[in-house]
């Protein structure tokens, strides 16, 4: 989340690269999709619709383990602090991680099972 409450999809590539989406509604389920490829960059989807993209980005491996963080990171990074909007406070119903970029139609199908 950004400091203004917008949903963000980010990756670390020697620096933070991200796509910023809308402020999500409170007290309702929202399907969030995030895809990455070097050709298309980061694509952020809300309820099956693409809302943001970075365009093409080549990824530079850090040589260190990378983490997926939901909610509070217990101080491991500076990205879940009030400067970045703070921690996610909510519930997750499902989480999928794929070894490839999903197409827009595949993300839409996941958002509308």
Q: What is the pLDDT of residue 5?
A: 78
109 within domain boundaries: no
Q: What is the pLDDT of residue 40?
A: 94
Q: What is the pLDDT of residue 34?
A: 92
Please list the pLDDT of the chain residue by residue as tens digits (113 residues): 777 778 888 777 777 788 889 988 888 999 999 999 989 999 999 999 999 999 998 877 777 777 776 665 566 555 554 445 556 677 888 899 999 999 999 999 999 98
41 within domain boundaries: yes
In sequence order, the 6+-apart residues with CB closer than 8 A to the CB of 39 are 56
95 within domain boundaries: yes
Q: What is the pLDDT of residue 15?
A: 72
Number of domains in the chain: 1
3-state secondary structure the chain: CCCCCEEEEEEECCCEEEEEEEECCCCCCCCEEEEEECCCEEEEEECCEEEEECCCCCCCCCCCCCCCCCCCCCCCCCCCCHHHCCCCCCCCCCCCCCCCCCCHHHHHHHHCC
108 within domain boundaries: no
112 within domain boundaries: no
pTM: 0.81
17 within domain boundaries: yes
Locate 111 and state its tokens. 């958002």
What is the extent of the structural domain holding 92?
Answer: 6-23+30-59+68-101
111 within domain boundaries: no
Q: What is the pLDDT of residue 91?
A: 82
110 within domain boundaries: no
Q: Find tokens 């970075």 and name the residue.
A: 54
């Amino acid at each position: 989340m950004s400091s203004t409450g917008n949903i963000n999809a980010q990756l670390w590539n020697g620096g933070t690269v991200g796509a910023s989406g809308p402020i999500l509604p409170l007290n309702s389920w929202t399907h969030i999709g995030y895809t990455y490829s070097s050709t298309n960059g980061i694509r952020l989807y809300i309820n099956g619709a693409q809302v943001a993209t970075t365009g093409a980005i080549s990824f530079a491996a850090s040589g260190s383990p990378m983490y997926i963080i939901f909610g509070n990171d217990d101080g491991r990074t500076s990205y879940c602090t009030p400067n970045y909007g703070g921690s996610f406070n909510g519930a997750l119903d499902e989480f999928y991680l794929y070894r490839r970029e999903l197409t827009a139609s595949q993300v839409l199908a996941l958002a509308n099972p």
